[in-house]
Structure 1
Amino acid sequence: MFIVEDLTFKYPKNKENTIKGITFEIRKGEIFGLLGPSGVGKSTTQKILTKLLDNYQGKVLYNNKDLKSYGKEFYEEIGVGFEMPVHFSKLTAYENLNFFKMLYKSHSDIDMLLKMVGLYEDKDKKVGEFSKGMKARLNFVRALINNPKILFLDEPTNGLDPKNARIVKDMIKDFKNSGGTVILTTHLMNDVDELCDKVAFMADGKIAEIDTPKNLKLKYGQRKLDIEYIQSNELIKRVFSLDNLGKNEEFINIIKHNEIVTIHSRETTLDDIFIKITGVEKNE
């Protein structure tokens, strides 16, 4: 869907480039995570991909065609959910959605979307009376009202309780399974781990790492296994290498002859990888 090559961008009043020559691809039907601490260029990259900024250097192709060559028809194909919901607070949820619906040629079933996110019963309530979580869900629905091919989502589950966060994540998965493409920005690494096919970690205007979550965890993790077991009424803790573990007689004997309490590999988390790659601790 997108091919980005050597993308560079500088805001007019800045001395340094905000984007410093980044290259990546986003494939059709992929959930692509664009990650990193605040101020590294994620939002600027999204603004370029959504045609809000066009005075960039480098190449950006959308469906193998220069992004700059597209006109308003481009917006028919994308849905955008900003982190800070923008609604008309004195209008009802239904009135809000119908207003934005008129901006597009293609339309989704608003009633169905509202039912899916649990807002149908509140459709005639003024948005100013909505809670933060309700506004976030309405914001997500608005991103889907034009049957987009691509979703740009910024912190889509922020402010949601676990039940409603699950509903939104399942809807994102359904969108992908129906052929849609998602560009996701979030600081919630559990969402990234669950949803993303590929992630790009940004640091200081550059892409520091790009790969699948699994490959990154294998790369930055330790190939070791921790095991706790009961032996002679004592809790014993041991560490084994994962290499040739099936031929390790000591490990096999422990498994055979003792009560196992816990056993797990030392697979690192995306939170740990985030900190290591982006240098967040140094910035703090």
Structure 2
Amino acid sequence: MEHPSSASSNNNNNNVADNKSNNLTEIKQLKSRYYESELEREGLNSLTESLKSKIRALQQQIFSQESTIKSAQDLISQKEILLDQIERYKQKVTDSESHLSTIKKEIFSLKENNNGYIKKYNELQQQNVQIQQKNNLLEVDKQQLSKKLKEIEEENNLLNKELKQLGIRYKCGHCDNYDICSNCETSNHNRDHVFIKIKRPIGNDRFARTALLPEFKLIEQNEQDIDHKTVCNVCHKNIKGIRYKCGHCVKFEMCVICEAYPFNLHDPTHVFIKIKRPVQIDSNEAILPLEFRPIITKAANV
């Protein structure tokens, strides 16, 4: 029979052995698990490196895509700018076409106007030729007139010479027989009487002792500013001072300036009445007799 303490010791030893065996088994398992963990860690490291490499590749792709996207956005922005510029260019083209159409219309109008101007220029050229022809004719007429005026001047000089020799006769129109020369024309005769100015000898002298003028009604005026209230038929100005009325015409008057011209401005066979003071003449007929006319020479008839 075994001793109880010995049995207990054996049991303890067995337990220790079992525990040791269990520990070894557990250690082996732990080692195995450790190796597996190491292998797994190495695999994870390898996987991690692979993932990192893929991540870097993806990052590069993302960066590249971001660059591409940015480039695309820039391109889109540039496209929008270009489209806006194209629209503006289209509008400019439209405006240019409209302006060009307006310019074409203006050019067409200018061409028509130019044709009109050319036509007008040709007409003016023709008129200029006609005017030149008329000027040539006028030059011929001028030469002929110059020659005629020279002849008239020569004849007038002869007439003036004759008049200087013969003198001007002033016949009182209200007296039967009262005649004075030009030197005595300012003599103290009846101031209410009117004289007839006779430049050339009268052909019919039966009126030499006859009063030829009717009584005129005098119009009182300031003698310093005589105005006859009638107009000169030559210069068409109011007659002031001395008035010359044709004795053979119903209505023909001349002022002192026009009457003094050395050439004839009226019928040389007519005789004028010299009126110094304003008078009223109501007659609608010639005042002087038709036969009371001067002798006319060739020079005097010019």
Which TM class, normalised by the smaller chain length?
A: under 0.3
TM-score, structure 2 length as denominator?
Answer: 0.16
Q: Which has the higher contact order (CA 8 A, sep 6+)?
A: 1
Q: Which one has a larger percent strand, Structure 1 or Structure 2?
A: 1
Q: Which one has a larger percent helix, Structure 1 or Structure 2?
A: 2
